[in-house]
Amino acid sequence: MGAEQSQFSKLSKKQLVSISVKLIDQDFPIGNPYESDYDDAYSILEEVSRYYSIDATHEDVEFFSKFLEINGEIIAELFANNKKEIKNRLLIEQLVIPVAKSYNLNYSSWGSCTYTNYLTQEFDSYDEEWVKDSATQQLNDGNWNIWDGQETSSTEYDNFEENDYSFDEVYDVDKSKIKNESVLDRLVIENTSEVIGSLDKKTLIKLKSIIESRLRLL
C-alpha cells in the first residue's frame, strides 16, 4: 500500500499556484513546517482550504511546505515584478508535485516497570522438600544464578512509567524490504552450509542435480 498523499495533489497546478499566493502572503513555512510554528501553519492552510471545500490535514501542511520548497525558483519567477508572471503557463507547467513516501522510524523508549518471570530449573537433591532450600543456598553462594532457568511462559510486565524516548534511524520502507530480504538470504545460506556439511556423497550428488535443474529454469 502506498503512502497517504495530500488531497491537494489532485488539484491542477494553476490552482496550486493560486493557493500558494495566499499561503506565502501569510508567511506559510517553506521547507520543514515543524521548525516553525506548526499550529500557525495548520491554521493558515485550514482557512485557505475552505475556498476549495477541503478539510486540511497533517499531510496537506507537509505537502505545501514541500511544494514551496522544491519549486522555489519557479515560484520566485511567478512572483517577480509584482506577480506579473503569475499566470505564465510555461512556468506553471514546470512546477513539480511532491510525492509522499513511506518510511520506517526506529525508536526506543525507556523507563521503569514491575515484571514477573516464570522459569524452571533442574536441581539434584536427595529429598523433594529440600530443593527450595538447596536453590536458596546455591543462590547465596553464587553457584547458581536466578536467570539461569528456562522460561516456562512469557514475562508479564505492569506499572509502566516512561522516562524518555529517542528517535533513531529513518529509512525508506521499500529499502527496508530489500534489507530484510538480504538478511534472510544470508541466514538461508548460513543454515544451508551447516546442513550440507553433514550430508553424505550420495545425497550431495542428488542435491546438486536438483539445484542445477532449478537454475536452468531461472
Statement to judge: residues 135 and 184 lie in one domain = no
Cell numbers that stand for 168 in this block: 533513531
Given a contact cutoff of 8 angstroms between Cβ atoms, the answer to whether 98 and 70 are in contact is yes
Residue 117: pLDDT band with limits 50, 70, 90: confident
What is the pLDDT averaged over residues 61-80?
A: 95
- Residue 99 belongs to a domain: no
- Residue 193 belongs to a domain: yes
User: What pLDDT was estimated at residue 177?
Assistant: 57
Statement to judge: residues 114 and 135 lie in one domain = yes
User: What pLDDT was estimated at residue 9?
Assistant: 94
- Residue 140 belongs to a domain: yes
Q: What are phi and psi of 188, to 5 degrees?
A: -60, -45
| Percentage of the chain lying above the pLDDT 90 cut | 42
User: What pLDDT was estimated at residue 154?
Assistant: 86
| Percentage of the chain lying above the pLDDT 70 cut | 81
What is the pLDDT averaged over residues 192-211?
A: 69
- Residue 98 belongs to a domain: no
User: What pLDDT was estimated at residue 178?
Assistant: 53
Q: What is the rounded distance in angstroms from the CA atom of residue 188 to the CA atom of residue 111?
A: 37
Residue 185 has pLDDT above 70, yes or no: no
For the chain, give the number of residues: 218
Please name the residues in contact with 190: beta carbons below 8 A apart, sequence gap of 6 or more: none
Domain hosting residue 198, numbered range: 172-217
pTM of the full predicted structure? 0.64
Statement to judge: residues 13 and 75 lie in one domain = yes
Statement to judge: residues 213 and 185 lie in one domain = yes
Statement to judge: residues 151 and 122 lie in one domain = yes
Residue 111 has pLDDT above 90, yes or no: no
Residue 194 has pLDDT above 70, yes or no: no
Statement to judge: residues 18 and 81 lie in one domain = yes
User: What pLDDT was estimated at residue 176?
Assistant: 53
Q: What is the rounded distance in angstroms from the CA atom of residue 209 to the CA atom of residue 44?
A: 69
- CB atoms under 10 Å from CB of 44, counted, come to 21
Residue 21: pLDDT band with limits 50, 70, 90: very high
Which residue pairs, CB below 8 angstroms and at least 24 apart, start in 145-152? 146/119, 148/121, 149/119, 149/120, 149/121, 150/119, 150/120, 150/121, 151/117, 151/118, 151/119, 152/118, 152/119, 152/120
- Residue 2 belongs to a domain: no
Residue 180 has pLDDT above 70, yes or no: no
User: Where in the chain does DSSP place strands (E)?
Assistant: 103-120, 150-172
Please name the residues in contact with 126: beta carbons below 8 A apart, sequence gap of 6 or more: none
Provide the domain count of the chain.
3
Average pLDDT of the chain, as a whole number: 85
- The pLDDT tens digits of the residues spanning 24-34 come to 999 999 999 99
User: What pLDDT was estimated at residue 171?
Assistant: 82
Given a contact cutoff of 8 angstroms between Cβ atoms, the answer to whether 20 and 27 are in contact is no
User: What pLDDT was estimated at residue 1?
Assistant: 62
Statement to judge: residues 163 and 179 lie in one domain = no
Residue 126 has pLDDT above 60, yes or no: yes
User: What pLDDT was estimated at residue 210?
Assistant: 73
- Residue 42 belongs to a domain: yes
Q: What are phi and psi of 185, to 5 degrees?
A: -60, -40
User: What pLDDT was estimated at residue 218?
Assistant: 62
Which residue in this structure is represented by grid cell 543456598?
A: 137
